[in-house]
Amino acid sequence: MQEELLCILYKHLCSLEDSIMDWKFVLALIFALIVAVFALQNAGAVDISFLTFELTISQALVILISAVFGALVVLLLSLVRWIKGQAKLKNLSKTVTGLEQENKQLRMKLEHLEIVENEKIDLEKIPH
């Protein structure tokens, strides 16, 4: 019964996660489109200075490069979070496996104790 409920819950969570991922993808595409339109509408030349480095470049290119670097930073941070999540999942899986083994052992002990108890009851019924 519990296993069936867990399966149903897992399927529901997976479908919910898929729909959330779909919305995130759509929002990312909309944001990328907005950035691209903004960059193209602001295509004038700008001077860029960094330390001793100076460059004249299209503002659209600066905007797009900045957006790409921002996306890469978000990707790297998400990757770190995903790796941590996978490590936690692995640890939890080990814990579940250990608990399942312990549960199995305890059930076997319980069955053994029930058998012993039933034998005691049967022995008590025998007249002396």
* 58/52 Cα distance (integer angstroms): 19
Query: Tell me: the pLDDT tens digits for 14-58?
Result: 555 556 567 777 787 788 888 888 887 887 888 888 888 898 988
* 93/87 Cα distance (integer angstroms): 10
* 68/16 Cα distance (integer angstroms): 29
Strands (E), 42-115: 45-50, 53-58
Instruction: Collect all residues with Cβ–Cβ distance below 8 Å to 42 and sequence separation of at least 6.
Output: 59, 60, 63
- Residue 2 included in any domain: no
- Residue 124 included in any domain: yes
- Residue 67 included in any domain: yes
Alpha carbon dihedral 95, 101, 103, 108, in 10-degree steps, equals -170
Q: How many domains does the chain have?
A: 1
Residue numbers of the domain that contains 100: 61-128
Q: Across the chain, what does the average pLDDT equal?
A: 80
User: What tokens appear for 81 in the block?
Assistant: 């979070």
- Residue 117 included in any domain: yes
- Residue 47 included in any domain: no
Confidence of residue 11 (pLDDT cuts 50, 70, 90): low
- Residue 78 included in any domain: yes
- Residue 123 included in any domain: yes
> How many CB atoms within 10 Å of residue 23?
10
